[in-house]
Structure 1
Amino acid sequence: MAPKPAPNDALSENRFVADKLDEVARLLDQQNASLFRVRAYRDAANYLRGLPHPVRLDYQRGGKRGLDDLPTIGQSIAATIAEILDTGRSGVLDRLRGAADPEQVLRTVPMIGPALARQIHEDLGIETLEALEAAAYDGRLATIKGIGPRRVESLRHSLADMLARRRPRHAPIDRQRPSVADILAVDLTYRSNLDQLPKIKPRRFNPNDEAVLPILHTERDGWQFTALFSNSPTTHRFAKTRDWVVIYFERADQPEGQVTVVTEHGGRLDGKRVIRGQENACAAHYERPEK
């Protein structure tokens, strides 16, 4: 966790957070994201620079909800600010820079060392603490060799403590997600326009330090999407670098989520694009008559 700043540094921390939000806006603009999304980050940055008190106080008093209640700041940007205050980093910014390192994020959890972080990321495709918490409850984490029931329970408690301030006090029972149809449409748009999309320089698996990874920012039905090919060790091992697509989504009133879309091999969905973990929903989608 990032150290609490001294009183005379408190407002400079506001500027530090604002600078990172401004960089997110700049990169989104360069990568052809919607003007609405770019402006949202810029407006939040400008607001923090003019805030007469440390934004950390709002976070300490009200958690992520305390940030969400501030003018110009919705849930997704509140989550970004909370992450910066907690860690000094932003996963959104790292992703846009091509510098995302999910294993480093996972290693911030007690009892998760480098080897286990790598295994969790490679086997389950987990990149965020929120996704790790979901896996701890839905049974996926228990499938990792060496993680028994007691360890899963301990990880649940650790994650609950780490994420407590980042989540709303009264979180909805069912978190909203984009429809299967919208996610698959974004996947198709991404793969159909690779030559026209801006490209970023991934830090990993990029020996020539070139801009080689296409990135798409788009919106559908009120959701903001970012799509790019998976660049994980598993993707490279199985030669799926031009097949597996990671899609991030967010909305002003919903925190960020992510899914991975792959080509299914075998079974009733053979050759179809499917969302990992949502195979049944994808089957139902394909079975519906076209309008």
Structure 2
Amino acid sequence: MNNQEIAEKLKEIGALLEQQGANPFRSNAYLRAANTVAQWPRPMAEIIEQHGFSGLTELPAIGEGIARSIFEYVVTGRMSRLESLKAGHDPIELFEQIPGIGPTLAHRLIEVLHLDTLEALEVAAHNGRLTQVPGFSSKKVELVQAWLSHVLGYRRSSSRPQEAIAEPSVALLLQIDFLYRKKAAAEELPKIAPKRFNPDKEAWLPIMHITRKDWHFTALFSNTPRAHQLKKTDDWVVIFFYDDQHHEGQHTIVTETKGSLLDKRVVRGREDECRKYYAG
């Protein structure tokens, strides 16, 4: 792949962010990065081969988040952030490319943790949630961490291999969830046409970009096979997030159907924190 091809992908992300009403700073950042890549005299693949991930972040207008997208595209031929914005990527196929994860484990990642991107999987692999999924032993988790480190370009200190990754608070995530569902119900959000489960290519899926407390959020209803099977496409809300230090991840918020949190909005994977939130 050449630099022009990578630049076109970055421009597409910038254009989608602009169309979907994201913070102009975010869309402009991708457009500036696209210009850098298109005009750079050396191929991005050559820079990665010789200098690794850090070689990308030394280029003008290339921050860590955009560098990870470039790194991932050079290594795997995919750009998860672009696929997520289009809401048409297949997380099963995405996770199956990881050594040791077949169709069964890929489905479990989605059904148990509601993961949809490599970035979200990376967060779960380092904060302990991945061990909640049957079939993920400590050894397999380590293999997943190593593969994601290679593909996403992360550079973690060897002395702190399990360093916790910053995430928005449960209270903030629930606020974003409430705001998204309120605006979606009032028809105040732009809509996109997901590729999956949308034979008529109808633009039906509301999407919201918003910045709160130094976190940048993208929220949309879940369009996974499981959500359609259980008729939860107007209940399950997927929230992608990242901050200015490029900590990023994803959570799904649902209406709980059992237990002490019955009928309450719950951040999957952070149920204990939700109990404390509602108790307080």
Q: By the TM > 0.5 criterion, same fold? A: yes
Larger CA Rg, structure 1 vs 2:
1
| Distance in structure 2 (CA, Å) of the matches to 1:234 and 1:91 | 20
Deviates further, 96-105 or 221-230? 96-105
- Secondary structure of the residue aligned to 2:92 is helix
- Equivalent residue letter for 1:28: L
Give the conservation status (yes or no) of the 8 Å contact 1:109–1:158: yes
Counterpart check, 1:198 vs 2:190: yes
Partner of 1:235: 227
| Distance in structure 1 (CA, Å) of the matches to 2:136 and 2:112 | 16
For the structure 1 residues 71 and 285, does the alpha-carbon distance in structure 2 shift closer, same or farther, using more than 3 Å as the test?
farther
Q: Which runs of 5+ in 1 are unaligned?
A: 6-12
For the structure 1 residues 60 and 281, does the alpha-carbon distance in structure 2 shift closer, same or farther, using more than 3 Å as the test?
same
After superposition, give the CA deviation of every residue in 1:111-154 in whole Å (9 maximum; x if it has no partner). Answer: 3333442343334322233444555673645643xx374xx625
Give the conservation status (yes or no) of the 8 Å contact 1:263–1:272: yes
| Distance in structure 2 (CA, Å) of the matches to 1:148 and 1:215 | 32
| Distance in structure 1 (CA, Å) of the matches to 2:148 and 2:255 | 35
| Distance in structure 1 (CA, Å) of the matches to 2:40 and 2:132 | 45
1:181 to 171, 181, 184: 171
Give the conservation status (yes or no) of the 8 Å contact 1:65–1:167: no
For the structure 1 residues 177 and 119, does the alpha-carbon distance in structure 2 shift closer, same or farther, using more than 3 Å as the test?
closer
1:211 to 196, 203, 207: 203
For the structure 1 residues 176 and 237, does the alpha-carbon distance in structure 2 shift closer, same or farther, using more than 3 Å as the test?
same
For the structure 1 residues 281 and 65, does the alpha-carbon distance in structure 2 shift closer, same or farther, using more than 3 Å as the test?
farther
Partner of 2:43: 54
Shift in Å at residue 214 of structure 1? 0.7
| Distance in structure 1 (CA, Å) of the matches to 2:276 and 2:119 | 27
| Distance in structure 1 (CA, Å) of the matches to 2:72 and 2:183 | 32
Counterpart check, 1:167 vs 2:157: no
For the structure 1 residues 281 and 89, does the alpha-carbon distance in structure 2 shift closer, same or farther, using more than 3 Å as the test?
same
| Distance in structure 1 (CA, Å) of the matches to 2:63 and 2:271 | 31
Q: Which runs of 5+ in 2 are unaligned?
A: none
Counterpart check, 1:45 vs 2:37: no
- Secondary structure of the residue aligned to 1:226 is strand
Shift in Å at residue 162 of structure 1? 4.8
Normalised TM-score (structure 2): 0.87
Partner of 1:9: none
Give the conservation status (yes or no) of the 8 Å contact 1:75–1:255: no
2:19 to 26, 30, 34: 30
- Secondary structure of the residue aligned to 1:239 is coil
Shift in Å at residue 223 of structure 1? 1.3
- Secondary structure of the residue aligned to 2:22 is coil
| Distance in structure 2 (CA, Å) of the matches to 1:14 and 1:64 | 16
After superposition, give the CA deviation of every residue in 1:218-239 in whole Å (9 maximum; x if it has no partner). Answer: 1111111100111112112222
Shift in Å at residue 56 of structure 1? 2.3
Structure 1 segment 49-198 matched on structure 2, within 5 A: 49-132=38-121, 135=124, 138=128, 140=130, 143-144=133-134, 147=135, 149=137, 153-154=139-140, 156-157=142-143, 159-164=145-150, 166-170=153-157, 173-194=163-184, 195-198=187-190
Shift in Å at residue 159 of structure 1? 4.7
Give the conservation status (yes or no) of the 8 Å contact 1:22–1:41: yes
Give the conservation status (yes or no) of the 8 Å contact 1:198–1:216: yes
After superposition, give the CA deviation of every residue in 1:241-283 in whole Å (9 maximum; x if it has no partner). Answer: 1111010001231243001111123443332212111122223
| Distance in structure 1 (CA, Å) of the matches to 2:113 and 2:272 | 18
Partner of 2:278: 286
